[in-house]
Amino acid sequence: MLKKLYQNLLLKYPLGVLSILLIGLLSFGYYATKLEIDASSETLLLEHDEDLKFSREIDKRFQGENFLIITYTPQKEMFSKQSKQEIKSLSDSLEKLPLVKSVDSILTVPLLLSPPKAIKELVDDVQTLGNSEVETSLVKNEFLTNPLYKGNIISEDFKTSAIIVNLHRDHKYSQLLQQRNDLSASATTATQKEALKNISQAFKAHRDQQRIIEQENIEQIRAIIHQQQSNSTLFLGGVNMIANDLVNFVKNDLFIYGSTLVLILIVVLWLVFRRLRWVVLPIFISILSVLAVTSALGFFGWEITVISSNFIALQLIITISIVLHLIVHYNELLNKYPKASNQRIVLATILAKGTPTLFAIVTTIAGFSSLIVSNIKPVINLGWMMSTGIALSFIIAFIVFPTLIVILPKLKIKPKNKAKQKRFSFTQMCSNIVQKDKKSIFIVTAITLIFSLSGASMLVVENSFINYFKQNTEIYQGMKVIDEDLGGTTPLDVILTFKEIASSVKISNDEADEFEDEFNQEANSEQYWFTKEKMDKILQVHNYLETLPEIGDVQSLASILKIGKQLNNHQELDGLSLGLLYTHLPQQYKKLILSPYVSIENNQVRFASRIIDSNEALRRNQLLQKIEHDLQEIVDPKTAEFRLSNLMVLYNNMLQSLFDSQIATLGFVLLIIASMFLLLFQSFKVAFIAIAVNIVPIGIIFGFMGWFNIPLDIMTITIAAIAVGIGVDDTIHYIHRFKEELSKTGDYFQSVEKSSNSIGHAMQYTSVTIMLGFSILVLSNLIPTIYFGLLTMVVMFAALVCDLILLPKLLVLFKPFKKVL
Nearest to 610 by CA among 553, 650, 557: 553
pLDDT of residue 193: 82
In whole angstroms, give the CA distance from residue 142 to residue 332: 82
pLDDT of residue 787: 85
Stated as kind and residue range, the H or E segment containing 584 is helix 575-584
Low-confidence ranges of the chain (pLDDT < 50): 502-509, 511-512, 515-523, 821
pLDDT of residue 239: 75
Helix, strand, or coil (residue 454): helix
Query: Are the C-beta atoms of 701 and 719 separated by less than 8 Å?
Result: yes
Listed in sequence order, the residues at least 6 apart from 165 whose beta carbon sits closer than 8 Å to its beta carbon are 67, 68, 69, 70, 94, 100, 103, 221, 238
Nearest to 401 by CA among 9, 791, 812, 18: 18
Query: Are the C-beta atoms of 727 and 318 separated by less than 8 Å?
Result: no
pLDDT of residue 255: 73
In whole angstroms, give the CA distance from residue 764 to residue 716: 25
In whole angstroms, give the CA distance from residue 392 to residue 377: 22
Q: How far apart are the first and last CA of the chain?
A: 27
**Packing angle between helix 719-745 and helix 807-814, nearest 10 degrees?**
50
pTM of the predicted model as reported, rounded to 2 decimal places = 0.79
Sequential DSSP letters for 522-572: G--TTGGG--HHHHHHHHHHHHHHHH-TTEEEEESHHHHHHHHHHHTTT-P
pLDDT of residue 424: 64
Distance, CA of 53 to chain centre = 21
**Packing angle between helix 557-567 and helix 575-584, nearest 10 degrees?**
110
What are the boundaries of each domain within the chain? 2-40+275-419+429-458+652-814, 482-645
pLDDT of residue 422: 52
Query: Are the C-beta atoms of 319 and 394 separated by less than 8 Å?
Result: no
The region, left, alpha or beta by phi > 0 then psi within -120 to 50, assigned to residue 12 is: alpha
Residue burial 697-731, b: 16+ Cβ < 10 Å; e: rest: bbbbbbbbbbeeebbbbbbbbbbbbbbbbbbbbbb
* Top CATH class, 2-40+275-419+429-458+652-814: mainly alpha
pLDDT of residue 519: 45
Partner residues linked to 127 by β-bridges: 111
